Amino acid sequence: MAETIRELISEQDVDRRIEELGKQISEDYAGKSIHLICILKGGAFFMCELAKRITLPVSIDFMYVSSYGDATSSSGTIKIKKDLDESVEGKDVLIVEDIIDSGRTLYFLTRELEKRGAKSIRLCTLLDKPERRVVEVPTDYVGFQIPDEFVVGYGLDYAQKYRTLPYIGVVEGV
Ligand SMILES: O=P(O)(O)OC[C@H]1O[C@H](OP(=O)(O)OP(=O)(O)O)[C@H](O)[C@@H]1O
Ligand code: HPA
Ligand SMILES: [Mg+2]
């Protein structure tokens, strides 16, 4: 069977949900500024859309961590491929991810940012796949809970392909 993509969440539904998340985050952090930490590569697409919808002062930084490579399951080893440019000490940090799957990446990141002295650490993820969790991690803001299927689009890749799809789809035939 050839590799095909089945739409799971439409572009319109993703946009609408990001709008809601931006509003909720702006209310919850009222009076504060937020330091967004985008987890590359997948989180970049979501972060740009989310940041535009937060009505508070926002600063942004990027970290590139990767564990999947070209596979559909985690290698279990998280590597920092590009570190943050700025210190997180004393900052209200909001980690922005495209997906929480096994939870290993988020667990690693949370511990790392705690060690570096962040004042508070929360997570905003576009997608959450709770059935696959290996490590328990708190998810503060979740766009959509999805079933146990390998998804692509809106930053998510399968072997570096499909990141630029404007909707979320399931890879079939692999
Ligand atoms: O909960 P987990 O099982 O740890 O999976 C989630 C992580 O896996 C993906 O990153 P990936 O390693 O594919 O890097 P990428 O964003 O560059 O594609 C995704 O962007 C998350 O960072
Ligand atoms: O379902 C997924 N798709 C793409 N990348 C991922 N990284 C963890 N889970 C996924
Ligand atoms: Mg990936």
pLDDT digits (tens, 9 = 90+) for 65-119: 988 878 888 778 888 999 999 999 999 999 999 999 999 999 999 999 999 999 9
- For the chain, the domain total comes to 1
For ligand 2, say whether the CB of 99 is within 6 Å of any of its atoms: yes
DSSP secondary structure letter of residue 116: T
For residue 106, what are the domain limits? 11-149
Instruction: Answer whether residue 93 is part of any domain.
Output: yes
For ligand 2, say whether the CB of 54 is within 6 Å of any of its atoms: no
Q: Which of 98, 101, 128, 157 is catalytic?
A: 101
Whether the Cβ atoms of residue 146 and residue 129 lie closer than 8 Å to each other = yes
Q: What's this model's pTM, rounded to 2 decimal places?
A: 0.96
ipTM summary value:
0.97
Instruction: Answer whether residue 82 is part of any domain.
Output: yes
Phi-psi region of 153 (alpha: psi -120 to 50; beta: other; left: phi over 0): left
The rounded distance, in Å, linking the Cα atoms of 142 and 125 is 5
Cβ atoms within 10 Å of 47's Cβ, excluding its own: 25
Residues forming beta bridges with residue 63, ordered by sequence position: 39
Q: For position 91, which CATH number holds?
A: 3.40.50.2020
